[in-house]
Amino acid sequence: MASSCLTLMEATGIQAYIFSSNRLQENIGASEQVYRSTTLWAFKALEAIGLTHNIEKSTSVHWNYKNEKNAGNTEYQAEFIYAGGGKALILFKDGKPDAIKFTKELTTSILRNAPGLPLAVQHIEFDWESDKLADKHKALQRKLASHKQSRMNSMPRLGLGVTAACESTSLVAVRSTDGEVNIEGTPVKLKLKDEEKTRFVSRETEYKLGWRDAARDHLNNQLGKDVVKQGFDFPSDIDKLGRQMGEESYVAVVHADGNNMGKHFDAIGDRAKSNREYITFYREFSQNVLKVSLRALQTVLKRVLDLIPPKLEKDEVYYKVANKIPLAENHWFPVRPLVFGGDDVTFLCNAQLGVAMAAEYLKEFEEQTETIIGKRLFACAGVAMVKMHYPFSRAYDLSESLCNSAKTFIRKEKNNKDASALDWHFATSGLSGSLQAIRQREYTTPDGQLYLRPLALQKAVTDQTGRYWLEGIQQVLHEFQAEEKDNGKWAKHRNKLIGLRVALREGLQAVEKYRCDYELPNLPELLPGKNATDTGWSGNQCYYFDAIEMLDHHVSLEKKGDEA
């Protein structure tokens, strides 16, 4: 039997490509380009060279796998084993020549539709009868990883001194935003209706802007049906994420990622008894992870939507989320998903929603995996809260570092017992140095460590550390924020509570004196049997600085009385 070919491709440098610009509309278009690079454009490339394949499309965006035979070699000339998240694995029945022809067609399409987006591709020959697909897949993954590390980055051609530069990429500008770009035969305007400034853009930027509308339709179809039904739109401008005019507003960049997903995928090879079973199991698990993340994110968006009143009252000027976050122009939703459709998720939101949404997403991720996959999987999240126009790429890098910090916490502090965790950082000024350096400089005193973060999502049975969100720091925040009508002990002491941060920095005795001077109640109980409720400290660890710092920057997703 002639040798088949297994092809693995991956859009590389995704984060740099999507988040290089500080303009949300360009990030949106770039995200759609990454999604299409290994799905819709790959399907079209196969059709262009005349190869039959196992993808069934119902619309320009929706697609699914066709039913395949349960045994034997594939009936298609090209079979997608999985596709999505900027990656794809394809089995070419008739060998490497078809794989090479496909690669040329696809890379040409990407050069036309997503200039500047790198794609790495590797092939390995494979015999269906004698080779184990799982082993070949692992070998191909190693081959692609080596290829990505060794290849030279492309150097863009810079312009002459008399050429204009693109503000987003610093590459040579090819047109102004007053013009249009052709997207799959349709002219698309580059400038938004409410955008006054005309600027020069490079070819890379013009296509990111050109795919912005397709990205909006994709988002509305996948996640936004409830949002759109209620008359709201996802914004393409960071200023529309619930900015409070006249005040300094913040945006949260939330990045969540599944734990040990590589191990879960590797385990498929151990239980598959044949190559066809491996394909079936691998594809099924990939599709289930996609369902999990989409349903989890849909649920979180619905929770935010439930906190917005269904209609304006006569004496109200703005819709508000939980009576606290005003919505820009009454119809912009304060959340914008950017990367979704896998275990790796990134979204922007008003900073007051950031940590609550991240925690809710992790909780839903756990529950949905148990329902859909049949076993509970876990994830971690990082939340970077920065000023509205802070350099976006640096904010995303921070959210990724925070997510990795949460994963490290689980690995080191939980004795390798998997769990969900989150970490966050509230940047009131610029960021200088690594996350560890920032915390050493800004959150460490001679008495010890001011911050508890990262936090496990839920308290373990034997956990006496206080380092958990649900029933832990979240509950402390609820008690601090409770209103007087709800028997809130701190309602009359809100300013003094915020001032307690200074005393916490100065140590135990300063806290006791501060509480005595202003007749403040004991702090909410977080550590049973320890004296943290008197001084805020236990040993060299402060237990309340995190909650107090977030006091004015946190809106719960719990629906309460008149907040509905």
CB atoms within 10 A of CB 538: 20
| Residue 336 contacts residue 29 (beta carbons within 8 Å) | no
Task: Indicate the burial class of 317 (C-beta count within 10 angstroms; 0-12, 13-18, 19 or more).
Answer: exposed
Instruction: Report the alpha-carbon distance of residue 327 to residue 349 in Å, rounded.
Output: 12
116: containing domain? 4-150
36 is a domain residue = yes
Q: How many domains does the chain have?
A: 3
506 is a domain residue = yes
| pLDDT given for residue 4 in this prediction | 92
Largest CA distance in the chain: 87
Distance of CA 213 to CAs 11, 217, 223, 392, Å? 21, 6, 15, 21
Q: Are residues 427 and 289 part of one domain?
A: yes
**Could you tell me the CATH number of the domain that includes residue 312?**
3.30.70.270
Instruction: Report the alpha-carbon distance of residue 135 to residue 419 in Å, rounded.
Output: 29
| Residue 342 contacts residue 383 (beta carbons within 8 Å) | no
| Residue 6 contacts residue 91 (beta carbons within 8 Å) | yes
Instruction: Report the alpha-carbon distance of residue 11 to residue 118 in Å, rounded.
Output: 6
The residue among 133, 150, 167 that closes a domain is: 150
Q: Token pair for residue 406?
A: 């949460």
Instruction: Report the alpha-carbon distance of residue 536 to residue 526 in Å, rounded.
Output: 10
| Residue 353 contacts residue 325 (beta carbons within 8 Å) | yes
Q: Are residues 476 and 424 part of one domain?
A: no
Q: Are residues 253 and 139 part of one domain?
A: no
Q: Token pair for residue 504?
A: 């916490």
Q: How many residues does the chain have?
A: 564
Which residues in the chain land under pLDDT 50? Answer: 1, 71, 561-564
| pLDDT given for residue 155 in this prediction | 64
Q: Are β-strands 379-387 and 421-426 bridged in parallel, bridged antiparallel, or unpaired?
A: parallel
Q: Are residues 385 and 301 part of one domain?
A: yes
143 by DSSP, 3-state: which? helix
The residue among 150, 173, 192 that closes a domain is: 150
* Residues in CB range of 173: below 8 A, 6 or more apart: 159, 163, 164, 165, 166, 200, 201, 202
| pLDDT given for residue 326 in this prediction | 83
Q: Are residues 428 and 515 part of one domain?
A: no
Q: Are residues 61 and 134 part of one domain?
A: yes
Instruction: Report the alpha-carbon distance of residue 19 to residue 37 in Å, rounded.
Output: 17
Residue pointed to by tokens 């997510």:
403
Q: Are residues 333 and 294 part of one domain?
A: yes
| pLDDT given for residue 330 in this prediction | 78
Q: Are residues 243 and 321 part of one domain?
A: yes
Flag whether the pTM goes above 0.75: yes
Q: Are residues 401 and 253 part of one domain?
A: yes
Q: Are residues 115 and 41 part of one domain?
A: yes
476 is a domain residue = yes
